[in-house]
């Protein structure tokens, strides 16, 4: 897809659907407990796939590229007594780790087998009653492993006592999980590196819980970037001033580094992003530890590259096991647009800004966030984005929404 040279139409409003992370947690909980009613669910492919897997009760479940679906369903199917499931995914999914989660589930007594390579999907899961409750899991690979166990914790015969080993990565996603558990009436105790959940005894009189999912902050990041580059006000619906999504840190990051103000209207739950401070001067360098919000790393790199602000982002050790090796993909694509970076196992640093290459197109590596983060650059420079359909994974309406707030300059 070639993005036509365009500029932002002032004062447009966008409605992004519910957070994919919140939606996918709630879908598992809704299936485990009868009293939960969800609204503003995400329309991301990752959510649709999870929803289908839970509804259809099929023997072979293919979650394509959806990391959360893969990880959350592993625990879910492990406790579905009498049911055997083959849980598989895309070629990339077969390279994304799951070993620490499978080990923890096996330690609890689950029956899980690897069908191809040891430590990776696909899995054969034979659902069983799980009576053990204490288990250790390393916390530095993916927080999704821990969330997966926490979501089933209150359904286990004797509850769950989880000991987290090593530095916790993507911490706000765990806090999101525990907050959602609390909201749906599941008690937990989190003391230092131990999280415990008691078995939840249900009664037929359980009150209904209506949960409206806040819209997706990771998706909002692309509008922050557009606003920083195009300097027009954009409003986004259904975002709270206080959010349980860690990526809401965007507000502070874009204010301090790109001069973007976020004004929240708590009555309508709308936020307005604008570049309003003409006295704002860009920092000499943007230095941030992004371990709490890995999904916005690409947005921040590309925004800084477009504005030619030097950057140094750390805490990114998980980026190589996401939809693609994101640090490597960034290094290659940023060079095309004239930003030379150095990457390590866990960081990315700009080292020079030079002339963009000629006749380029942006490759997306089956990674939705590569496509969406480079969109602001491609709009200004009329460039092709390869395999633009990848956005479906988290934000199927992205191109439509982008078109609605921009006008063609040709």
Ligand X SMILES: O=C(O)C1=C[C@@H](OP(=O)(O)O)[C@@H](O)[C@H](O)C1
Is residue 372 part of the contact set for ligand PEP (CB under 6 A)?
no
Query: Tokens at residue 226, please?
Result: 């557009």
Q: Out of ligand X, ligand PEP, none, which partner does residue 170 contact, by CB within 5 to 8 A per kind?
A: ligand X
> Which of 23, 85, 274, 394: binder of ligand PEP (CB under 6 A)?
394
> Which of 30, 295, 333, 392: binder of ligand PEP (CB under 6 A)?
295
Backbone phi, psi, residue 272, to 5°: -120, 130
The answer to whether the beta carbons of residues 86 and 109 sit under 8 Å apart is: no
Binding residues for ligand X, per CB under 6 A?
A: 21, 68, 142-144, 147, 169-170, 173, 294-295, 318
Q: Phi/psi zone of residue 372: left (φ > 0), alpha (ψ -120 to 50 degrees), beta? A: alpha
Nearest partner of 339 among 376, 370, 302, 381, judged by Cα = 302
Q: Which is nearer to ligand X, 169 or 274 (CB)?
A: 169
> Which of 25, 251, 322, 336: binder of ligand PEP (CB under 6 A)?
322
Q: Which is nearer to ligand X, 235 or 245 (CB)?
A: 245
Q: Which is nearer to ligand PEP, 233 or 299 (CB)?
A: 299
Give the whole-angstrom CA distance, residue 319 versus residue 366.
Answer: 14
Is residue 25 part of the contact set for ligand PEP (CB under 6 A)?
no
Sole window of 7-15, 53-61, 64-72, 395-403 interacting with ligand PEP (rule: CB under 6 A): 64-72
CA angle (120 as vertex; 118, 121 as ends), nearest 5: 120
Annotated catalytic residue, options 100, 216, 292, 295 = 295
Q: Out of ligand X, ligand PEP, none, which partner does residue 238 contact, by CB within 5 to 8 A per kind?
A: none
The answer to whether the beta carbons of residues 356 and 381 sit under 8 Å apart is: yes
Instruction: Give the nearest residue (CB) to ligand PEP.
Output: 67
Show the site string, 108-147: x = touches ligand PEP by CB under 6 A, - = not.
----------------------------------------
Which residues contact residue 259 at a Cβ distance below 8 angstroms, ignoring those fewer than 6 apart? 228, 275, 276, 277, 280, 282
Q: Tell me how far apart the terminal alpha carbons of the chain are, to the nearest angstrom.
A: 17
Q: Which is nearer to ligand PEP, 9 or 389 (CB)?
A: 389
Is residue 369 part of the contact set for ligand PEP (CB under 6 A)?
yes
Is-catalytic flag, 325?
no
Backbone phi, psi, residue 288, to 5°: -145, 145
Is residue 67 part of the contact set for ligand PEP (CB under 6 A)?
yes
Give the whole-angstrom CA distance, residue 61 versus residue 88.
Answer: 6
Backbone phi, psi, residue 242, to 5°: -110, 120
Q: Which is nearer to ligand X, 169 or 225 (CB)?
A: 169
Helix, strand, coil proportions of the chain in percent (round to 5)? 40, 25, 40
Distance of CA 196 to the CA centre of its chain: 25
Q: List residues binding ligand PEP (CB under 6 A).
A: 46, 65-68, 295, 322-323, 369, 394
Active site residues: 295
């Amino acid at each position: 897809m070639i993005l036509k040279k365009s500029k932002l139409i002032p004062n447009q409003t966008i409605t992004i659907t519910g957070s994919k992370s919140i939606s996918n947690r709630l879908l598992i909980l809704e299936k485990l407990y009868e009293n939960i009613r969800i609204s503003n669910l995400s329309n991301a492919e990752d959510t649709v796939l999870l929803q289908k897997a839970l509804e259809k009760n099929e023997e072979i479940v293919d979650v394509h590229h959806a990391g959360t679906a893969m990880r959350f369903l592993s625990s879910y199917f492990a406790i579905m007594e009498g049911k055997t499931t083959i849980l598989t995914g895309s070629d990339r999914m077969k390279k994304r780790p799951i070993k620490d989660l499978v080990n923890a589930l096996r330690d609890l007594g689950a029956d899980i087998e690897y069908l191809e390579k040891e430590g990776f999907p696909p899995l054969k899961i034979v659902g069983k009653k799980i009576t053990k409750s204490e288990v250790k899991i390393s916390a530095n690979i993916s927080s999704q492993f821990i969330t997966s166990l926490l979501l089933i914790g209150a359904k286990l015969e004797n509850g769950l006592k989880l000991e987290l080993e090593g530095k916790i990565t993507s911490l706000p996603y765990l806090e999101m999980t525990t907050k959602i558990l609390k909201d749906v009436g599941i008690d937990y105790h989190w003391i230092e590196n131990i999280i415990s959940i008691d078995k939840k005894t249900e009664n037929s009189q359980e009150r209904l819980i209506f949960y409206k999912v806040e819209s997706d902050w990771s998706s909002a990041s692309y509008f922050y970037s557009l606003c920083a580059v195009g300097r027009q006000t954009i409003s986004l619906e259904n975002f709270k001033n206080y959010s349980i999504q860690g990526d809401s840190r965007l507000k502070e990051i874009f204010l301090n580094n790109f001069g973007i103000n976020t004004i929240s209207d708590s009555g309508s739950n709308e936020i307005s992003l604008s570049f309003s401070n003409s006295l704002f001067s860009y920092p000499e360098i943007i230095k941030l530890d992004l371990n709490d919000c890995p999904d916005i790393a690409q947005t921040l790199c590309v925004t800084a590259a477009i504005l030619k602000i030097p950057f140094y982002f750390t805490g990114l050790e998980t980026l190589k096991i996401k939809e693609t090796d994101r640090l490597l993909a960034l290094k290659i694509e940023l060079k095309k647009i004239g930003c030379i970076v150095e990457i390590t196992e866990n960081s990315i640093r700009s080292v020079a800004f030079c002339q963009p290459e000629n006749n380029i197109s942006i490759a997306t590596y089956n990674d939705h966030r590569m496509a969406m983060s480079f969109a602001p650059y491609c709009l200004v420079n009329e460039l092709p984005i390869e395999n633009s359909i990848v956005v479906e994974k988290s934000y199927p309406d992205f191109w439509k929404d982008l078109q609605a707030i921009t006008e063609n300059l040709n």
